[in-house]
Amino acid sequence: MVDATRTGAKAFQDLLRAVAEKGDSDIAARMDEAESGTDVRDYAALAAMVLQSIEDNLHHTSPAHCEGFLRALTSLLRTTP
């Protein structure tokens, strides 16, 4: 159970990394606009990534995996002002 809980938490950490990487790649692809102060991140695509990850991880076959994912998510939300 501990391994599955850790795997769920890692899935959330992977989501955070993927969102950061996607945002960075959006900026790199449109550097001229970004340098002028325009926010060029594709927020619809980022939101779709988040929604898909939440759905995948909350419907995971392992309850411990779901718990680990939710613990990581709520830990971040609890520490974010």
Stated pTM of the model? 0.86
Residue 1 scores a pLDDT above 90: no
Q: What is the pLDDT of residue 2?
A: 79
* HEC sequence for 15-42: HHHHHHHHHHHHHHHCHHHHHCCCCCCC
The predicted model gives 14-18 an average pLDDT of: 97
Q: pLDDT tens-digit profile of 25-81?
A: 999 999 999 889 999 999 999 999 999 999 999 999 999 999 999 999 999 888 866
Angle at 78 between CA 3 and CA 61, to 5 degrees: 30
Q: What is the pLDDT of residue 53?
A: 97
